[in-house]
Amino acid sequence: RLKKFITRRPSLKTLQEKGIIKDQIFGAYLHNVCEHDGSTVPHFVKMCIKAVEERGLDVDGIYRVSGNLATIQKLRFVVNQEEKLNLDDSQWEDIHVVTGALKMFFRELPEPLFPYCFFEQFVEAIKIQEHDSQVKAIKDLVQRLPKPNYDTMKILFAHLQNIAAKEKMNLMSPQSLGIVFGPTLLRPEKETGSMAIHMLYQNQLIELMLTEYTKIFRSD
């Protein structure tokens, strides 16, 4: 009977999807965070981007340099406890803590910003040799994403484009940002032996989406 009870117990995922367990921000599904916030882009993502745009665009190695992990975990705790958050507070003055927390938010999504069911299609698109066809294939896939994924991606990539525009000062090129964000935003549901090859495509996809941002996110 105990075994039967254990097998019948709903998983955390099921409870979260049914809204029985109060969704936290970190580690919750993107659509649940957006529902909770009443927006198609999580408030925390917008707050982090605003802070980095205001005081981090010129910072050497922004998004590549790691912030203090204990402070990042503290920020994560504050967000998940739904305490009032002010990123201008002196305890978050190190902008690498803010960027570290934003990367952690995306890394901890149970399903990445590029949903699992799209992974192979994005990999096939980035393999296309002819540039214009490659961009069109990626644009077509991006346009098919669920609205929270599309809207969050559009805002995030616009922000990363602003980072890359200051490359002379912050030393973060589209390629550097691709290396940082590739595996965080796009990953297969099951890791296979081809991880190194996947990583190459992941990085290339992010780099291309930054350099061709206008074409990919423009509504025709």
Q: Of 155, 146, 61, 62, nearest to 112 (Cα)?
A: 146
pLDDT at position 12 over 70: no
Task: Provide the 10 A C-beta neighbour count for residue 124.
Answer: 12
In this structure, of 77-81, 82-86, 168-172, the range with the lowest mean pLDDT score is 82-86
φ/ψ (deg, to 5) at 149: -65, -45
Look at residue 23 in the predicted model and tell me its pLDDT.
56
Buried b / exposed e over 134-148, threshold 16 CB at 10 Å, is bbebbbebbeebeeb
Structure confidence at residue 22 (pLDDT): 54
Handedness of CA 32, 38, 47, 62 (dihedral sign): positive
Give the span between the Cα atoms of 186 and 205, in whole angstroms: 9
Report pLDDT for 195: 75
% of the chain exceeding 90 in pLDDT: 81
Encode pLDDT of 33-74 as tens digits: 999 999 999 999 999 999 999 999 999 999 999 999 999 999
Q: How confident is the model at residue 83 (pLDDT cuts 50, 70, 90)?
A: confident
Task: Using pLDDT thresholds of 50, 70 and 90, give the confidence band for residue 28.
Answer: very high
Going by pLDDT thresholds of 50, 70 and 90, the confidence category of residue 20 is very low
Q: Tell me, which fold does domain 1-217 have in CATH?
A: Phosphatidylinositol 3-kinase; Chain A (1.10.555)
Buried b (16+ CB within 10 A) or exposed e, 191-216: eeeeeeebeebbbbbbbbbbbbbeeb
- Look-up of token digits 């117990």: 9
154-196: pLDDT as tens digits: 999 999 999 999 999 999 999 999 999 999 999 999 877 677 7
Give the model confidence (pLDDT) of 118-153 as tens digits.
Answer: 999 999 999 999 999 999 999 999 999 999 999 999
Contact (CB, 8 A) for 126 and 201: yes
- Domain spans of the chain, in order of start: 1-217
Instruction: For tokens 């993502």, name the residue.
Output: 45
Computed over every residue of the chain, the mean pLDDT equals 91
User: Distance between alpha carbon 107 and the CA centroid of its chain, in Å?
Assistant: 7
3-state DSSP: the chain helix, strand, coil percent, rounded to 5?
A: 65, 0, 35
10 DSSP 8-state letter: P
